[in-house]
Amino acid sequence: MNCVRHRRSGLWWVALMALGVSVVLARGASSAASTTGAEQPAKAALMVVIAHPDDEAYFPGLLPYVCLVRKLPVVFVVLTSGEAGITPAGNRELREEEQRRACRVYGLPNEPVFARFADGAWQGTLEDNWKLWGGESRAAEWLAAQIRHYRPDVVVTHALDGESGHPNHVGCALSVTKACAWAADATRGGTEVTAAWSVKKLYVHRWPTRPLEFRQDVLVPGTDRTCLQIGEAGGKMHRSQGYAEQPFAELDAPGASRFGLYATTVGVDSGVGDLFEHVDLAPYRKSAVEPPDGADAARQK
């Protein structure tokens, strides 16, 4: 999100799309993945991809819900380390450590994956973002490799207008949509280890088609706290962004975030609000838990 949440009209996205998808020249962006500590799951039920440390604020109860209520494996990817959104600029290590601390509160047993694409350009254009990232295909190619490696069933990412018009958010969302298609395309290469993989469901924040309201006011078993409350507690770990003293959640409705089913290989949702509807969770059966009362968080009031 980076320092201040910038609320801009969704019409800004129309202007961005007018830029097209022409290739831009790369300049110096790097994308070395970084993880420490706990191993990543061999296979993920869910992959969440955000632009900056703290951008989970748009759906703060998601990780607590999937990790603590459904008990499913998650890979959490952060494309930039937010180094431009701190004073003095450049303290990537602090922003990453804040994200790790937040994820521990959310119940994520493995570390976030930091892609370390360059942060910045929030007052610029989408083209500025692609230049920072080394070209408009660079992040999508990197993400496609991660998708093939972790084989997530469901992927969740930012709104295509970047929520606030932030070019890093827009670039993240566009890169994820491309990456899901490229990961499934066997003609794009790959090895026996990283064979093509088709994501079953791709949810984009605030996408208007095939909407799903994800409710986050669900009690976490064994506690007196909801997923949203745990999300708020984790958000306070982003101290450099001021969230120790201010509310963290950036919700679309009271207690809820709204997604749209951007792409699916398993059919459309029936309306029960289950992110994992039609997904075979048998590979995770030893740890997975059914939605409370047979319905997803979206139906829990």
Per-10-residue mean pLDDT of the chain, 301 residues long, equals 42 30 30 57 98 98 98 98 89 97 98 97 90 97 98 99 96 99 91 85 98 96 98 98 97 97 98 95 83 53 38
Residue 1 is predicted with a pLDDT of 67
Q: Is residue 13 part of a domain?
A: no
Instruction: Specify the CATH number for the domain of residue 170.
Output: 3.40.50.10320
Q: Is residue 9 part of a domain?
A: no
Q: What angle do CA 65, 46, 296 make, to 5 degrees?
A: 40
Domain encompassing residue 191 = 30-296
Amino acid symbol at 35: T
- For residues 92 and 2, the answer to whether their CB atoms sit within 8 Å is no
Question: What is the C-alpha to C-alpha distance for residues 143 and 161, in angstroms, rounded to an integer?
Answer: 19
Amino acid symbol at 172: C
Q: Is residue 1 part of a domain?
A: no
> What's the number of domains the chain is made of?
1
Amino acid symbol at 96: E
pTM of the model: 0.86
Which residue matches tokens 């494309």? Answer: 79
Q: Is residue 5 part of a domain?
A: no
Residue 34 is predicted with a pLDDT of 43
Q: Is residue 3 part of a domain?
A: no
Question: What is the C-alpha to C-alpha distance for residues 87 and 207, in angstroms, rounded to an integer?
Answer: 33
Q: Is residue 301 part of a domain?
A: no
